[in-house]
Amino acid sequence: MASQDTETDEAIREEFLAEAQEIVESLSRDLLILDQGAGDGTVDLINDLFRGVHTLKGMAGMFGFDQVGTVAHSLENLLDELRLGRVSVGKDVLDVLFEGVEQFQRLLSPDKRDRSSEIDAYANTITRIAMSSPNQGHPLDVYAIDPKVLSVLTEYEEHRLRTNIREDIPLYRLEVSYPLSTIDVALEELKARAKPPGEIITYLPTVGEGDDDRIELEVLLASRKDQDQLIQELARHGGKLLPVPMAEQLPTEPPAPPSTDTLPPEDNTPLVMGPSDTLAGEIVSLVEAAEDAPSFRLHGHTVRVDIRKLDHLMHLVGELALLRGSLEQMADRFRRRPELRSVAGELHRVNRYFERNLRDLQGGILGVRMVPLGQLFDRVARGVRQVAKEREKEISFVVTGAETELDKLLVEELSDPLMHLVRNCVDHGIERPQRREIAGKGRVGTLAVNAYQKGHHVVIEIEDDGAGIDTDRVAQVAVRRALIAESAPDEMSREEKLALIFLPGFSTLDEVTDTSGRGVGMDVVKTNIARLGGVVDVQSERGTGTKFTITLPITLAIIRALVVSVRDEVFTVPLTAVREALSYDPAMVHSVDGRSVISLRGVTLPLCFLGDLFDLAGEPSPRQFVVVVEAGTRSLGIVVDGLSGQKDVVIKAFGESLSRIRGFAGASDLGSGGVALVLDIPGLVEEVLTPTDHALLKEASG
């Protein structure tokens, strides 16, 4: 029984952590928008931040995360001061808000170290900011507002009223009546139509003699829209709309009884709007449109699933794929026996139906595993902002393609390599403002991240407009650090010199900072991305900037593979890496720099003889094939003995003792007891096309 309680508590804790992480990611997105300058949306952003922090505080208290609750309480106080206009949104305030998000990230991480001193220091910083001179609001007596309305305004509503008066935004009074059953939806629709640019200040129920199933409201709203436009947009609500007059416009004598001779000017005449029969329909349309709008989270239509359960489902899909292959083989055997040909035809038809449904199931599970890269880019943006601040650089961080989706496991594993790359751009690439001005550039550097899908891959480009990479200096540093031979740079192309930055231990910084200079980073980036089945390339131009390009498969859960044979061994090649296959003709082969190549449609293609590379026993087949594969921007022709068709395979990872073997990504079950090694195409391309990894390193070490 105690074990069940422990499992239940752990499940509840995991649920809290997942929900809290979503709230923190939402806070981060809103802060990044606020930092970029939100214009008319600033008020809504601050309110969203306040609500998110308030929710997190309540959840933390409920589940015993006291330190999270303490940070949330301090942050909530600061956001309340912002909402009330007592503190302005400035650089110092934004820094503190971003630090709050970082505090949440640390407290929600598996790291259990005590952070009481950090939290106390953070709370003191917030207190100091909150005690700064408050912004004084504008006097309320500029407008002739009913004192009864003013007397019931909340502190926040009074602040918003003063702000609108200070910004010379006209005020209006709207009298409306709504059915009690739709009051919440109707008010949300009214709020949406009042902005931008405007807002509902408050709404109060009024005494009327109408239907008991309806409620009459007096709404005080501010809007920059002219009266005619506002009347047109609010006509569907029924009721009356009046501008709130300025105080100096009021008559000094008591007003005469109303008559047709004493009506106010035409533009101040209350508009009497008949009740709308289509209000309910309009509200439904608005709600449906809101549901169709893009969003990272649709709270009412989502369920949180443990990724391990999806892994198990994908494993079962792989088993079903093997079963489908076995049924196909059985149908082929039956077809060769005359008495079973009719059974073979029926079995083949059923198997085709099975295959279509299996593909739909596979696609559905893969779709559930996919998450937008935007959530990863938000974390990167916070890191860029922090490093730029530490290095005294001004940087504009631009993201495109945040909606591009990738397998969740790949996104999680990609976080560290991507952060390494952007920090490298900030630390090494983009210059300080003074140096940029001397170079004829703007003070603010640009760091752009662009993601898009290309076939069965996702491409992520990280580009800066900084100083670029000095390839000659890179080669000199590599020689000085004994990474390559002293004579090697004279024989290397510019591209090969650029590739040196990925060698272990390479760094052009003599100074060790929090972000660079330790001699680790770029080689780790390359290794980790290769482990995900991807490649990273670099392009750079002196004085113009640098671009890193990461190419990754959309998922590693299940792949379509080309089955090939070499000597007596069978291998599988991920179909996403295969460009084409053609017959091998020895007469086509010639040598370039000691490497076997062929010319394919005018392009030189290096060859890899798989049997020789893996030192396989036996003789090659008289008829061979070239499988042309791609890894990022590089291509390679793999010479094999036979092609055996395509299969859906689930990659089984090697154990720890075999994980370091180069050239293989894992193993795959082909059914009927057959097992094939899965070729690691990025690793093979690296092995064959990077000369500095072997001869030059050996010469340097000798």
Q: Are 243 and 321 contained in the same domain? A: no
588 within a domain of the structure (yes/no): yes
Q: Are 536 and 440 contained in the same domain? A: yes
The DSSP secondary-structure symbol of 511 reads S
DSSP code per residue over 39-85: GGGHHHHHHHHHHHHHHHHHHHHHHT-HHHHHHHHHHHHHHHHHHTT
Q: Are 614 and 543 contained in the same domain? A: no
Could you tell me which of 74, 13, 1, 81 has the C-alpha nearest to residue 46? 81
Q: Are 474 and 497 contained in the same domain? A: yes
Could you tell me which of 649, 655, 653 has the C-alpha nearest to residue 666? 653
Phi, psi of 208 (to 5 degrees): -140, 175
Taking the C-alpha atoms of residue 338 and residue 350, their distance in angstroms, rounded to an integer, is 19
Among 531, 553, 575, identify where a domain stops: 553
Largest Cα span, the chain:
113
255 within a domain of the structure (yes/no): no
Q: What local confidence, expressed as pLDDT, does residue 290 receive?
A: 41
Taking the C-alpha atoms of residue 453 and residue 465, their distance in angstroms, rounded to an integer, is 24
Taking the C-alpha atoms of residue 469 and residue 173, their distance in angstroms, rounded to an integer, is 63
43 exposed, middle or buried (CB, 10 Å; 0-12, 13-18, 19+)? middle
Could you tell me which of 523, 486, 529, 492 has the C-alpha nearest to residue 506? 523
Among 102, 130, 158, identify where a domain stops: 130
Q: Three-state SS across 594-608? A: CEEEEEECCEEEEEE
Q: Is the dihedral of CA 332, 336, 338, 339 positive or negative?
A: negative
Q: How many CB atoms lie within 10 A of CB 358?
A: 17
Q: What local confidence, expressed as pLDDT, does residue 625 receive?
A: 94
Q: Are 660 and 523 contained in the same domain? A: no
Residue 653 vs residues 82, 147, 458, 560, 647: alpha-carbon distances, Å: 52, 73, 22, 16, 18
386 within a domain of the structure (yes/no): yes
Specify whether the CB–CB gap between 662 and 530 falls below 8 A. no
CATH code of residue 144: 3.30.70.260
Q: What local confidence, expressed as pLDDT, does residue 521 receive?
A: 64
Q: How many CB atoms lie within 10 A of CB 204?
A: 14
Taking the C-alpha atoms of residue 27 and residue 372, their distance in angstroms, rounded to an integer, is 17
Q: How far is residue 79 CA from its own chain's centroid? A: 26
Residue bearing tokens 């996104």: 411
Q: Are 609 and 654 contained in the same domain? A: yes
Q: Are 416 and 477 contained in the same domain? A: yes
Could you tell me which of 346, 315, 317 has the C-alpha nearest to residue 330? 346
Q: Are 95 and 169 contained in the same domain? A: no
Specify whether the CB–CB gap between 88 and 132 falls below 8 A. no
Amino acid at 523: D
Provide the domain count of the chain.
5
603 token code pair: 């392009």
Taking the C-alpha atoms of residue 645 and residue 107, their distance in angstroms, rounded to an integer, is 51
Phi, psi of 555 (to 5 degrees): -150, 155
Radius of gyration in angstroms for the set of CA atoms belonging to the chain, rounded to a whole number: 33
Q: What local confidence, expressed as pLDDT, does residue 519 receive?
A: 41
3-state secondary structure of 95: helix
Q: How many CA atoms lie within 13 A of 50 on its CB side?
A: 15
CATH code of residue 124: 1.20.120.160
Task: Write the CB contacts of 544 (distance below 8 Å, at least 6 apart in sequence).
Answer: 465, 468
316 token code pair: 């079962």
Q: Three-state SS across 673-694? A: CEEEEEECHHHHHHHHHCHHHC
Residue 272 vs residues 192, 226, 231, 437, 490: alpha-carbon distances, Å: 22, 17, 10, 61, 87
288 exposed, middle or buried (CB, 10 Å; 0-12, 13-18, 19+)? exposed
298 within a domain of the structure (yes/no): no
Phi, psi of 321 (to 5 degrees): -65, -40
Q: What local confidence, expressed as pLDDT, does residue 509 receive?
A: 59
pLDDT in tens, 552-602: 888 776 778 899 999 988 999 988 889 999 999 999 999 887 889 999 888
Q: Are 696 and 636 contained in the same domain? A: yes
The DSSP secondary-structure symbol of 143 reads B
256 within a domain of the structure (yes/no): no
Q: Are 117 and 187 contained in the same domain? A: no
Could you tell me which of 443, 417, 457, 441 has the C-alpha nearest to residue 548? 417
Among 110, 130, 150, identify where a domain stops: 130
CATH code of residue 386: 3.30.565.10
CATH code of residue 697: 2.40.50.180
Residue 438 vs residues 434, 443, 447, 497, 543: alpha-carbon distances, Å: 6, 10, 19, 28, 12
Q: How many CB atoms lie within 10 A of CB 116?
A: 9
295 within a domain of the structure (yes/no): no
396 within a domain of the structure (yes/no): yes
Task: Write the CB contacts of 332 (distance below 8 Å, at least 6 apart in sequence).
Answer: 344
Q: What local confidence, expressed as pLDDT, does residue 259 receive?
A: 40
- Order of strands across the sheet that contains 664-671: 642-649, 559-566, 569-574, 674-679, 664-671, 651-652
> Does pTM surpass 0.85?
no
Give the start-end residues of each E strand in 93-233. Answer: 171-179, 198-205, 214-223
Taking the C-alpha atoms of residue 47 and residue 34, their distance in angstroms, rounded to an integer, is 12
Q: Are 464 and 337 contained in the same domain? A: no
Specify whether the CB–CB gap between 450 and 457 falls below 8 A. no
DSSP code per residue over 605-669: EEEEEHHHHTT-SSPPPSS-EEEEEEETTEEEEEEESEEEEEEEEPEEPP-TTTTT-TTEEEEEE
Q: Are 517 and 381 contained in the same domain? A: yes
9 token code pair: 């508590």
In terms of C-beta distances under 8 Å and separation of at least 24 residues, what long-range contacts does 102-105 make, across chains too?
A: 102/382, 102/386, 103/71, 104/20, 104/24, 104/27, 104/56, 104/68, 104/71, 104/72, 105/24
Helices (H), 257-306: 279-292
435 within a domain of the structure (yes/no): yes
State the virtual CA torsion across 381, 383, 388, 389 in degrees, nearest 10. 110
Q: What local confidence, expressed as pLDDT, does residue 235 receive?
A: 63
Q: Three-state SS across 217-265? A: EEEEEEECCCHHHHHHHHHHHCEEEEECCEHHHCCCCCCCCCCCCCCCC
Task: Write the CB contacts of 168 (distance below 8 Å, at least 6 apart in sequence).
Answer: none
Could you tell me which of 178, 174, 145, 193 has the C-alpha nearest to residue 241? 174
| Ranges in the chain, pLDDT < 70 | 1-9, 38-41, 130-142, 194-197, 207-212, 235-239, 247-303, 508-521, 557, 655-661, 671-673, 690-702
Range of the domain at 450: 373-553
- Order of strands across the sheet that contains 535-541: 395-400, 445-454, 457-464, 545-553, 535-541
44 token code pair: 């809504």
Q: What local confidence, expressed as pLDDT, does residue 293 receive?
A: 40
